[in-house]
Structure 1
Amino acid sequence: MLSDDTPAYGDPYGEPAHPVTPQPAARGGYGADVLWALVTAAVIGVLGLGLGLLWHALAPELPLRMAELGTERGLVYISGEPEELAAAEGWFVLLGLGFGVLVAVLAWVLLPSRRGPIQLAGVLVGAVIAGWVAWYLGHHIGLAEYERLKTSAPVDSIVHRPPDLRAIKELDFFPYAVGGTLLIPAFGAVVSYALMAAWSRWPSLRREEDEDTYADDGYDDHPLDSPR
């Protein structure tokens, strides 16, 4: 017969004597998660300016030659297959992929209490915005001078066009189509975030919540070698 101070372990084949008590959502709830996701998206979008400056600095400009085209003048490629086109795309892919990995890791490390699908959505939206911002800034630096030389440069002179991406297409209902290479930063961010979530030891991805949830399960208060 058990004494009054003997711990109750319950039926080993039934319900546990000390069930886990579900804890509330993260501090501030889902509203705070959404707010932080919007802030994250905005910050990542602004960081796209730095990505654009770096891409413009590393990607080569495309040299074009002013030539007589019948009764008109126009710019033509110097070579049949300019390597500068592929180089601009390649640099954007490499820099954009690294950028996506970096912002995903920063969001994961700096905001551990906001981890989850809502934070991932904020990172994704921010990376998409950053890709577009990076292309727009990197391409438009020096574009005005290029447009001027398109009409005023003498024949046989060389005009350098700022780096550009072939994935960009002008549309009637929106200035540019977002797709192709522009989505590389978002791809890198989503894959990196998913890998960190898959390797996390915490079911909710938030250490504080899981520690609070399992700290009161009762088994720590009644070790297995307690008297029966």
Structure 2
Amino acid sequence: MTAPLTPPHQQPPNDPWQKSEAGAAPQAPSHPHAGPGAEGAQDDTSPSMEVVRAAVVALALTVLGIGLGLLWMWLAPRVPLISTDKAVFLKDTEGEEAIGADGTFVLLALAFGAVSAALVFWFNRRGGVPLVIGLALGGLLGSLLAWGTGVWLGPTGDVVERAREVGQGVEFDAPLRLGAKGALLAWPMAAMLVHLGLTALFGPRDPEPEWTAGYWPPTPAPGTQDGTPT
């Protein structure tokens, strides 16, 4: 005994898999959400676009390093020097101005890293590995540029010539130096940590799977075996 089949002339009108009268191959149903902007949305999330965005972020942070260097030069404490007829000496041998210059650089770099990560997350919440790499690389290059900017625009590095200009017994500023080179990692580390935290808290979530009522596998209809007519 076989189960009754639906006659061909009673097939549902919107069956996307039915063959045409000419015997053409069945066509897959179109995606319900496909539209004019679907192709552009796919291109926007392509790996090449992610690499481009990461490169733009790295370049922007590198240029921003000039601002960090100017602030460091302006806010860092000066190390006073004084000269005699024999040599140039520190005016205060127990002063902590040199350590203060390193600490100022670190604090400014941490602030730049946090702000840059927040801005990058605000404009691109999808994140991605290339974007994090761009943040880290841009922060490191920006720190290097800030270091060079502060040293170049700060007090001259020719201490002997400067001592001759001001004369003996006159106080003048020592060159701006970064003693702890590990301070160059403050910006990239802060940027990555802040961006990771913002992504974990406010980043897009994967959609939850929808559970439908019923049993799986479905119960075969009467008069059939494994869902096929007998």
TM-score, with length taken from structure 1: 0.67
Of 82, 86, 95, the match for 1:82: 95
Q: Deviations over 1:168-213 (max 9, x none)?
A: xxxxxxxxxxx4111111111111112112224534xxxxxx5xxx
SS in 1 for 2:87: strand
Please state if 1:64 is matched with 2:64: no
Larger radius of gyration: 2
Alignment partner for residue 149 of structure 2, among 128, 131, 137?
A: 137
Match of 1:160 among 163, 173, 179: 173
Mapping for residues 1-228 of structure 1, pairs under 5 Å? 27-68=44-85, 73-113=86-126, 115-144=127-156, 147=159, 148-167=161-180, 179-200=181-202, 202-203=204-205, 210=206, 214=207
| Aligned partner letter, 2:183 | T
* Structure 1 CA distance for aligned equivalents of residues 65 and 43 of structure 2: 29
The C-alpha deviation readout for 1:105-154, integer Å capped at 9, x for no partner, is 111111234x1111000000000011111111112214347543045442
- The answer as to whether partners of 2:140 and 2:184 remain within 8 angstroms in 1 is yes
> Which residue identity lines up with residue 134 of structure 2 in the other structure?
G
Larger RCO: Structure 1 or Structure 2 (Cα < 8 Å, ≥ 6 residues apart)?
Answer: 1
Are residues 142 and 27 of structure 1, via their aligned partners in 2, closer, same or farther at CA, if it must alter by over 3 Å?
closer
Amino acid aligned to 2:155: L
Identity %: 28
Give the superposition deviation at 1:29: 0.9
TM-score relative to the length of structure 2: 0.66
Stretches (4+) displaced over 3 A: 23-26, 142-148, 150-153
The answer to whether the 8 Å contact 2:61/2:116 transfers is: yes
Residue pair 1:55, 1:138 contacting (<8 A) in 2 also: yes
Report the CA distance shift for 1:198/1:28 in structure 2 as closer, same or farther (over 3 A).
closer
CA RMSD of aligned residues (A): 3.1
- Equivalent-residue separation in structure 2 for 1:180 and 1:188 (angstroms): 13
Judge which range, 190-199 or 139-148, deviates more: 139-148
Specify whether residues 110 and 94 from structure 1 end up closer, same or farther in structure 2 by C-alpha distance, changes over 3 A only. same
In 2 relative to 1, CA 26–191 (structure 1 residues): closer, same or farther, beyond 3 Å?
A: farther
CA contact (8 A) 1:51 1:95 kept: yes
